[in-house]
Amino acid sequence: MSSAAKPLGTAAVEAPSEGGKYALVGGVALMVVVLDQLTKIWIDAGMKLHQSIPVLDGVFSITYVRNTGAAFSMLADLPVAFRVPFFVGVATLAVGALLYFVHSTPASQKLVLLACGLVLGGALGNLIDRIAYG
């Protein structure tokens, strides 16, 4: 096709194929899981529990805490025999829902797929932590 036949202002970047969208989501999710796990190993090896390292003084710090519950320690007081299977189940359902959403998302929606990869990586990281550490 000659350049005269292309409409003006069309992007040169093509949408990923159906298989390409899974590669995008899977690659982003894998990167998030690897960075998540490496960061946790680094903090566990180099910091003491409850130690805090200021990154932006007065604004942002890295603090080593362990949360056996959900956000803001919700459900942390429940027995381990209930809490761990419950959170593993919730994380598994979240991963399944995300995969279904990715499947139904058009390959042309690259930003949506990128966001799905980020969320999927976080959910998989949580699932790994629940199984490995409770």
Encode the chain (134 residues) as per-residue pLDDT tens digits.
444 555 555 444 555 677 799 999 999 999 999 999 999 999 999 999 999 999 999 899 999 988 777 776 777 777 878 888 888 898 899 999 999 999 999 999 999 999 999 999 999 998 998 888 87
**In the 8-state DSSP scheme, what is residue 58?**
T
8 A C-beta contact, residue 102 and residue 116: yes
- Give 69-97 as a DSSP string: SSGGGTTTTS-HHHHHHHHHHHHHHHHHH
Q: pTM of the full predicted structure? A: 0.77
